[in-house]
Chain A
């Protein structure tokens, strides 16, 4: 498994690839749900990519993003069925 994370400081528009993730010999480009600026990227992830599976909300975090349009991002984020706004 390999990960190449997004570059801090860069601004990405929605649907543009920000990072690549390779698993089972397949490289997949990952996109942000909305446009935004990458504030911080998990540098440790490239050396230990399996953390994405093992500890996605801990050591496997990918990046911190400042959304360009918080409302658009909220609309693009999936909500569990029945959840209020």
Chain B
């Protein structure tokens, strides 16, 4: 039970609201990814304070964003070979590969004037994990809207959502980065793209181990995040417990929904003819857009930074064909740059 004094209470001598901090420990992927959905109604109804959850998965899994479909996003052969659980989270963003070498944190909070939800809330909350990384001598900084980067390379990805009247911000800190798995997880419209994607992931992702040279001290990281909350004016973290109501809701509502085909495979809109057939955000503004060639004889591939074309390739219809690069400034390059601008890049 959550003590009544803790709900919307304050720590003695502090003007900041109390945040319940729950460490779920190592757990099944569905618990790590989706337990916040069982907490959200309790927070929204004022039955418990705003809550910060920590967890780590006990095995690898994949998570697609709320507006994505597992079928469209995940390479089924890879998921089968790795025996991955595949989940669709309620927060936004793209597909991610999750493994036991990552720390998840989830902020579940009530709607207030200070924190009304949406991307504007990212800086206030994500400053805490960034601060925790800095306390471990990793020079992490925020890259808006929602990444934490070290030297321009992503060490933590984050996303937000609304659920049952509460707001959620969820993210992970990469202890180790299995870049190859991150690239191989995604379903691609052409085999020739795989090597390109692996290179881009290797270039733009990092991990706390790669930056600090040692395996992360998870306990210290969690302490660092909780310790940063008062300094940032967010609140004061107090250790708490899962309520019976939340546990029951998780088992009776959240888990069955996450296992249902209708949840995993929502109807995905048919893209307009000019839209890319695949849009992959690797990290921050860096990503890959794949278009059908205007004459339908193959595909063109744009490696972009936001709306700017960095590299351009052509892919034939042969599935084993390699990428052929367009010369910068050539007619093919200019045409692709125009299409990237037309669709707004990675927007």
User: A27–B92 contact, CB under 8 A?
Assistant: yes
A25 touches B119 (CB 8 A): yes
Interface presence of B331 (CB below 8 A): no
Query: Is the CB–CB distance between B118 and A2 below 8 Å?
Result: no
The reply to whether B271 and A27 form a contact with Cβ atoms under 8 Å apart is: no
Contact B145 A25 (CB under 8 A): yes
Which residue in A27, A47, A50 is a CB contact (below 8 Å) of B67? A27
| Complex Cα spacing A27 to B117, Å | 9
0 or 1 for each of B240-257: is its CB under 8 Å from A? (1 = yes): 000000000000000000
Q: Are B91 and A50 in contact (CB under 8 A)?
A: no
**Interface check A24, CB cutoff 8 A:** yes
Residues of B with C-beta under 8 A to A48: 272
Chain A: interface secondary structure?
Answer: strand
Q: How far is the CA of A61 from the CA of B136 in the complex (A)?
A: 49
The interface-forming segment of B153-161, B219-227, B229-237, B310-318 is B153-161
Specify which of B90, B160, B269, B271 is in contact with A25 (CB 8 Å cutoff): B160
Contact, CB under 8 Å: B146 / A24: yes
- In addition to A25-B145, A26-B92, 13 A-B residue pairs with Cβ atoms within 8 Å of each other are A2-B67, A2-B92, A4-B266, A17-B162, A22-B65, A22-B92, A24-B92, A24-B145, A25-B160, A26-B118, A26-B122, A27-B159, A28-B161
Q: Chain B interface (Cβ within 8 Å of chain A)?
A: 65-67, 90-93, 117-119, 122, 145-146, 158-162, 266, 269-272, 275, 344, 347
